[in-house]
Structure 1
């Protein structure tokens, strides 16, 4: 049985660790609220953009943008969105497992994969398995900056426009609620003909008005407007994926740190019980020795 001093040292160590996890839990809870607010604010913008794009494409069926054309797949692009830091439960593990499964499927079909990584954990995974890396962006912070993301995004879009890749997927974690985050793999390009929301959130907004005819006045011309709008639409989808992932990250971290704090409390209670029993046994032994010595005299 460990000694009293050793048990006391263990209790102190677990208490210090629990203080850290409690502090991280509170910090994550604060960041989670801000991340969720940012995500909820962006969702209506993404839905409105989806509706406008759908209207324009229906009003001008004679113009087929390259983003809408299906191709024979010989190579694929993959954007992996992960976190920069750990201690967020199985968030990165789940999305990593989904990506590895998709890459394995591509390899079996002899499809080359060209990847982009957002977040240090995803970059480490892609580097470790030796995927062709086109671009990367790490240390995104708590507030995503679209200007920082655009460089890495445009590399993949340019590769698609030039025919280097024939399809583009994005892997992220979709925020459902504080306790549930779902890893998803979305087909980003080519876009569906009806421009249905790939997140299946308010997707009906893109299609409800399709029975009406829409007429627009374009400035400077139809091609320029649709090209710019679809570029914004794709960039918006990627930005939304980053925002969803950040909300999921803070929620998962808060839940993980709360679980760690609760486990720490249970460990402290168990160690405290062992400490009390050990101390009681030591006191009983000393009393027995005193009584035995007095009886011998």
Structure 2
């Protein structure tokens, strides 16, 4: 059995670590509350932006004609080359947060390559950058210091960067790979398309979806000033920026939730370890006292003889 001094040092070390994990849990909980508020504040704006975009891009009937608008980000091409935007954290100590994302990203990469599709990565977060570099993955761009100041300007910078290869035709689709926030205890890894944007269905497609029994519905509620094409020039980039910002906020909240959960588990494990070490200490102390008593009794018996 370990001596008393060694056990005391181990107990002191575990208690010191427990203070750190408890403090990290409290900090993560406080930041998580703020992150949740930001998500709740952004959600109505993102939803309304999506509704307006859907209204602007919807086909419209003008007598016998159907008018639709075109935009480079609405163009659909066969997915010969794709760009994956992988959102990870800069720091660890957040459970399986990063490993789940990177596992999905790597699996998608390998599956796409086997299918003959080219894959490039745009990486947010040091954990993702280091992981993909170790595997010699084709990295298109690394976004540094995103988490230092997460705001719309950061999302706008990312949107402009990833937009260029799509508009030039170098990639045919762009996907966001990130952790979607459900609760502090639950996050869901998702891979959702960012480009091309989901455009309106054509009349033929709409009729087919309805079983060929109904004519497509056209929206007539709004008059646009300026015209829809001019609106799309600003509305589409805005929607993309909001989508990226939402994914970043979801990822940040998921990271904080995962860190809070991990640090809570670490704090509880530290308490259990302290309890076991304290029990070992008491047993060792009891054994030491028993040994001393036996030595004293043995010495006294020897003196009597």
Q: Give TM-score, length-normalised by structure 2.
A: 0.88
> Does the 8 Å CA contact 1:142/1:246 hold for their aligned counterparts?
no
User: 1:191 aligned to 2:194?
Assistant: no
Secondary structure class of the residue paired with 1:85: coil
Aligned mates of 1:153, 1:134 — CA distance in 2: 14
Once the two structures are superposed, what CA deviation does each residue of 1:233-252 show, in whole Å capped at 9, x if it has no partner?
11111111001001111111
Q: How many residues align?
A: 282
Aligned mates of 1:224, 1:131 — CA distance in 2: 39
User: 1:225 aligned to 2:228?
Assistant: no
Q: Among 151, 161, 164, which residue is 1:155 paired with?
A: 161
> Does the 8 Å CA contact 1:55/1:214 hold for their aligned counterparts?
no
1:126–1:214 CA distance, 2 compared to 1 (3 A):
farther
Aligned mates of 2:2, 2:33 — CA distance in 1: 44
User: 1:263 aligned to 2:266?
Assistant: no
How far residue 110 of structure 1 moved from its aligned partner, in angstroms, is 2.1
Secondary structure class of the residue paired with 2:238: helix
User: 1:173 aligned to 2:179?
Assistant: yes
Aligned mates of 1:132, 1:277 — CA distance in 2: 58
- Residue pairs, 1:35-184, within 5 angstroms: 35-58=35-58, 61-141=67-147, 143-184=149-190
Structure 1 residues 18-27 or 182-191, which shifts more? 182-191
Q: Unpaired segments of 5 or more residues in structure 2?
A: 61-66, 202-216
1:146–1:131 CA distance, 2 compared to 1 (3 A):
farther
Secondary structure class of the residue paired with 2:121: strand
Query: RMSD across aligned C-alpha pairs, in angstroms?
Result: 1.6
Secondary structure class of the residue paired with 1:76: strand
> Does the 8 Å CA contact 2:175/2:194 hold for their aligned counterparts?
yes
Aligned mates of 1:270, 1:142 — CA distance in 2: 40
> Does the 8 Å CA contact 1:84/1:138 hold for their aligned counterparts?
no
How far residue 122 of structure 1 moved from its aligned partner, in angstroms, is 1.4
Once the two structures are superposed, what CA deviation does each residue of 1:211-247 show, in whole Å capped at 9, x if it has no partner?
642332322x432211211111111111110010011
Name 2:33's counterpart in structure 1: 33
Secondary structure class of the residue paired with 1:183: strand
Once the two structures are superposed, what CA deviation does each residue of 1:12-71 show, in whole Å capped at 9, x if it has no partner?
000000000000010101000000100111111110000000011115542222222221
Structure 1 residues 6-15 or 55-64, which shifts more? 55-64
Name 1:206's counterpart in structure 2: none
Q: Among 222, 229, 232, which residue is 1:215 paired with?
A: 222
Aligned mates of 1:249, 1:282 — CA distance in 2: 48
Structure 1 residues 58-67 or 231-240, which shifts more? 58-67
Secondary structure class of the residue paired with 2:58: helix
Q: Unpaired segments of 5 or more residues in structure 1?
A: 196-209
Secondary structure class of the residue paired with 2:89: coil
Structure 1 or 2, whichever has the larger Rg, is: 2
Name 1:202's counterpart in structure 2: none
Aligned mates of 1:236, 1:75 — CA distance in 2: 24
